[in-house]
Structures are given as structure tokens and as C-alpha cells.
Amino acid sequence: MDPQKLKDNFALVAANGVDVAEYFYADLFAREPQLRSMFPAGMSRQYDLLLGALGRIVATVDDHDRLVPFLRDLGRQHHGFGVLADHYAPVGASLLATLAYFSGPDWTDDLEHDWAAAYGLVTKVMTGAAAELVS
């Protein structure tokens, strides 16, 4: 994984502001309509929170001492929201689709591979922390 490439790509995508979060949730709810009811009716706060968290994850993707505690907290919170391990795959698919859409011609197989690896790490740490709450 090339952390700098992920950071540069996220900066390019995030320059589109709230449109990124809007696209992401539209894609997710088209993919998995049953997930819509897990979220509040008004999504604007959620848009900001998602973009903020993604920015923080990308900024610390090569600093696991900071990233892992953040993701463990986020995983425990998500357990409280009723999020299950199976929910992470569609969210990852929507995330990659969103990044590809806003990257346009800059999207490459390498970026797709690196983002998938980063999301795999996020999923592992978040679901691991959530699983400890029920074991």
C-alpha cells in the first residue's frame, strides 16, 4: 500500500465536499435498501461525520498507533448503532464506487487495490473491537 497515493486521492475526491457523502449514501441505499432505516431521516450531520472520519483515517493510515484506537472506538460505537460484521462489505463496495466516481480518469487498479486493503484493515479493527463487546 502506498499511503501517500491514498492521501492524494482522498484530497482530490474530498474537494467535492458534501457531494461525496451524498453519492456514497445514495449508492449504499440503492445497493442495500434495508440499511436506510438504520440512519436518521435528515442525513446532513451524518455527511459531515462520515467525511471527517474518513479524512482522519486516511491521514493516519500509516500511523497505526493513532489509527487503531480511533477505529476501535468507532467499532464499539457502531456496535451500539446495531451495525453487524456483514454490513461492512456493502459499505466498502459503496466507498470504492464513490472514490472511483469522483476520481474519474485518475482512478487506477493500484488505487482500487490500496483502498480495498485500507478498508479491509478498517473492517478488521472495527469488527474486532465490536466482537469483544459480545464475547
Give contact residues for ligand HEM (rule: CB under 6 A).
35, 38-40, 46, 49-50, 53-54, 77-78, 81, 83, 87-88, 91, 122
**Distance in angstroms (rounded) separating the CA atoms of residues 30 and 124:** 25
User: Which triple of cell numbers denotes residue 68?
Assistant: 487503531
Q: Which amino acid is at 109?
A: D
Residue 71 Cβ, how far from ligand HEM at the closest point, in Å? Answer: 8
Residue ranges with strand state E in the chain: none
Nearer Cβ to ligand HEM, position 16 or 55? Answer: 55
Nearer Cβ to ligand HEM, position 33 or 40? Answer: 40
Residue 105 Cβ, how far from ligand HEM at the closest point, in Å? Answer: 25
The residue behind cell 476501535 is 72
Q: Which of 40, 9, 20, 4 is nearest to 112 (CA)?
A: 9
State the sign of the Cα–Cα–Cα–Cα dihedral 56, 62, 65, 71: positive
Nearer Cβ to ligand HEM, position 15 or 49? Answer: 49
Residue 48 Cβ, how far from ligand HEM at the closest point, in Å? Answer: 9
**Distance in angstroms (rounded) separating the CA atoms of residues 122 and 110:** 18
Nearer Cβ to ligand HEM, position 5 or 55? Answer: 55
